Structure 1
Amino acid sequence: MHIENKKLNTFTLSGLIIGPILGSGLILLPPLLYNMVGNFSLIIWLIILSLGFIFALIFGKLAILYPGDGGVSLATKETIGKKYQLLTSFYLICAVFFGSVAVLLIAGQFIQAYFPNTPLELLGFYIYILTYILLLTKIDFLGKLMLTVSSIITFIFFISSINILLGIDKFIFFIPTISFKEFGYSLILVFWAIVGWEVIGNYSQEVKETKMLTNAVKLSAIIVSSVYILTTISICFGDFPKDTDFKLVWIIEPIFGSYSDIILATVSMILCVGTLILFIGGTARLISSLKFLSCTSKRMQNETPIGALNFLSLIIISILFLVYFKYISLDNLVAFADGFFISNAIIGLITAMIIFEKGFLKTSSILLTLLFFIILLFSNIFILITILGLFIFTYFKK
């Protein structure tokens, strides 16, 4: 692609990142985690967001060193071989298969109250059609669109959280004791919040200058972390009912009143679609670059990888059917997606360990590899067997 056709700058790439990285995680995770472990959720968030910030810097650097639609898998190919590029690509593609359907269902849950007679899976299908149409548009339009909506959503949660905090007379922080198993499960659950950074490299060919990619990653990581932390502090210290499960709508109600439910439903829909755009768009570029089949390599005039996008769509819609017929649940989808995402991240981090000779990024890559591997061990045993099986198959494959 010629430089004049590269449309994304620091702010439009940030727009493409912030909304999707917040995505369904912002809507789903803070209340879910608080209802599980109470104020201990603040400690969990501090741990996972700190890891996420370093994770973003590492993968941003790899994307700069090895630009292309293949993203970080290109660095893996050059460092430890093509078969491990295929393995990490397969982990990411599988994660997106399951994760995308989970996001569709989460989005559907928030708008189902307005369509009571429509099955959740059908709502998910309609949301996917909207996402598919948006993915056919030019990448710079998507960047500007997501920058606008990400800014609005970030502003809503910023002012709502600060409004809650300003109304608190005194901060009483009681940390409940939780078991090691609960701690591990909480970490793997919240890992969903930092998923997405590994896809940024797939957009490196769309950026005008490599410096813009670095700046966009740093800016996005700061904003995403700030929104999560402010929201979590508000939940932990705000004056909310304690005898029932926390509801996220309580955060925005003091400012937006009776409009809060419709605003939260709209925000949820936009964030989930943004997440789908980032993941499906990035993964379609990856599949196109790998040239598995001639049909998956086809591109439109505006460089949209239409062949790979149609392939992904076929799988995603098939999984929606499996959910509809009760063969797979939402919990299964999130668990499978997280397991594959972590496995993909670990291979990327091992790649980084080899590439970076010394310094902060080298040390961070080693530590994150160990920590992510420990988090992965809390996954479902069937997921671990599948991941291990794929690794063994790749290792012995000539």
Structure 2
Amino acid sequence: MNQRKIGSLTLSGLIIGPLLGSGIILLPTIIYENLENYAIFAWLIMSIIGICFAYVCGELIIKFPGEAGLGNAMEKAFGTKIKNLASVFLMIAALMGPVAVMMTAAEYIQTWLFPDKIKVEWIAIVLLVMNGLILLFRLNFLGKLSFIISTLAVLILVSGSIYALLNEPSGTWAFPDFHFSSFGYNLLLLFWTIVGWEIVGNYSSEVKNPKTTIRKAIFFSAAVILIVNLVLSAAVQWTMYNSTFSIRLTGIMYPLFGQLSVGLLALVATGLCITTHLMVVGGVARLVAALSKSVSSFHFLTKKLANGAPFKAIAFLVSIHLFFAVLVLLKVVTVEQLVGFANAFFIANALIGLFAAIKLLNNPWIKGMAMMLSVLFGILLLRSSVISLVVIFALTFLLIGWRHERHNSQEKLDI
């Protein structure tokens, strides 16, 4: 059994790449174009928020380990109904978010190799099936694969950014008029860069020495992610950034890598998107398998391979991803709509986890962090689309309020 357990470096591999994800390729240029020289402050604020969120999640995971992840802490704090509600939020987010991530990877592959020859949606469908098969491998292998991809991505992005900062400095320290609403909207966009910390807990039952391993992995991963975010955003802000290239960030990488820049960025983006998909779908598949144990009609989703991979839960999630990819292909929904929905449900799940931390953790510093984060996340959630908010409130009423009313009515009848 110990051979299946993963250490801190392997766990870091499951964290760094997914947390960087497609956001580190797409967002630096978008945030700079929106905020100009205020962009670096937005990145710094969200990086600090990300570190605090990682620390709070880590302490909860250590105290309440298991395949249900933060759901174990939520159940301890608020009961089974709230745990199930948060799990539904996370599962809904995981049904939509990974499709948007793989569409991003597909766009880079199409731009690099198949311009105007193969539709992006078909490339994404192939990637979704491929990743579904990769998820059937042992977690140790997945962690090592993600660590290799993450390491190469970090080396390419950081070295290219530092070289550009040293050799192609430009830009100005002048600041435009500050607009709080615009700054807040861009912080909401940057929330995508901290999605994933709450999913680490779903792997905790497969980690060696959870207390030591999880703390080391989170500290190391948070430090690497902070460095990459700030160095790359600084390079976009203070170098000869050129937005005319078909693939974003090519202007930053070009001074060091020249004609190889487009191919390298396409590979980096695809690799990071793949690691994001592996982490989210692998973690949520374990959550689905854990929750299905208590529901007889879904008991088939608990089945695992000899290596521990919940293959039926993985197949279930990938099938829904393919369904949404087809909807995008048919132009029934857009990638932007999928991202908006996924973000809202990720935030809603994270908020419940933060409330659990406030109630369960004794350290006053961690409680303070959790309180601060819950306020910030609440503000971000309220900036989500009206449709997302309506669905979240409706699910909350159906899973908690309605059952509570039915229980009270039954008690009155008994009397």
Over aligned residues, Cα RMSD in angstroms? 1.7
Letter in 2 for 1:258: Q
In structure 2, do the counterparts of structure 1 residues 258 and 59 end up closer, same or farther at CA, with 3 Å as the change threshold?
Answer: same
Range with bigger deviation, 277-286 or 251-260: 251-260
Taking the aligned partners of 1:78 and 1:169, their CA distance within structure 2 comes to 53
The one-letter amino acid paired with 1:29 is L
Instruction: State the alpha-carbon separation in 2 of the partners of residues 262 and 99 from structure 1.
Output: 25
**C-alpha separation between the residues in 1 aligned to 2:222 and 2:363?**
23
Question: 1:109·1:120 contact (CA, 8 Å) conserved in 2?
Answer: yes
Residues 1:325 and 1:170: Cα distance change in structure 2 (over 3 Å): closer
Q: Distance in 2 between matches of 1:117 and 1:243?
A: 22
Work out whether residues 34 and 246 of structure 1, in 8 Å CA contact, stay in contact via their aligned partners in 2.
no
The letter for the 2-side match of 1:112 is Q
- What is aligned with 2:264? 263
Shift of 1:280: 0.2
Amino acid at match of 1:333: L
Q: Which TM-score applies when normalising by structure 2? A: 0.92
Q: Which amino acid aligns with 1:279?
A: V
Paired letter, 1:362: K
2:205 counterpart residue number: 205
Q: Distance in 2 between matches of 1:241 and 1:300?
A: 49
Partner of 2:74: 76
1:288 equivalent in structure 2: 289
Task: Tell me the distance in 2 between the aligned counterparts of 1:103 and 1:242.
Answer: 22
Q: 1:179 Cα shift? A: 2.5
**Matched residue, 1:370:** 375
Q: In the alignment, which residue of structure 1 is the partner of 2:90?
A: 92
**Which amino acid in the other structure matches residue 347 of structure 2?**
I
Distance (Å, rounded) in 2 between the aligned partners of 1:105 and 1:246: 14
Structure 2: how far apart are the matches of 1:192 and 1:242? 22
Contact 1:31 1:246 in 2 (8 A): no
What is the aligned partner in structure 2 of residue 356 from structure 1?
A: 361
SS of corresponding position for 2:21: helix
1:181 aligns with 2:154: no
Q: How big is the shift at 1:358?
A: 3.7
Moved more, 381-390 or 172-181: 172-181
Alpha-carbon shift at residue 247 of structure 1 (Å): 3.1
The aligned runs of 1:231-270 (5 Å cut-off) are 231-241=232-242, 247-270=248-271
Unaligned residue ranges in structure 2 (runs of 5+) = 405-415
| Alpha-carbon distance in 1 for matches of 2:166, 2:21 | 26
Instruction: Give the drift of 1:246.
Output: 9.3
The residue type paired with residue 308 of structure 2 is: E
In the alignment, is residue 315 of structure 1 matched against residue 320 of structure 2? yes
Q: How many residues align?
A: 396
Paired residue for 1:327? 332
**Which letter does structure 2 place at the counterpart of 1:341?**
F
User: Which structure 1 residue ranges, 5 or more long, are not aligned?
Assistant: none
Query: AA paired with 1:63?
Result: I
Instruction: Give how far 1:385 is off.
Output: 1.0
Change (3 A) 1:234 1:67: same
Is 1:339 aligned to 2:344, yes or no?
yes
Q: Is the 8 A contact 2:241 2:252 kept in 1?
A: no
In structure 2, what is the equivalent of residue 166 of structure 1?
A: 166
* Fraction of identical pairs, as percent: 35
Partner of 2:275: 274
Equivalent residue number for residue 49 of structure 1: 47
Determine whether 1:224 maps to 2:225. yes
Instruction: Select 2:310's aligned residue among 293, 298, 305.
Output: 305
Deviation of residue 327 (structure 1)? 1.2
Name which one, 1 or 2, has greater alpha-carbon Rg. Answer: 2
Distance in structure 1 (CA, Å) of the matches to 2:397 and 2:276: 31
Per-residue deviation at 1:92? 0.6
Deviation at 1:171, TM superposition (A): 7.1
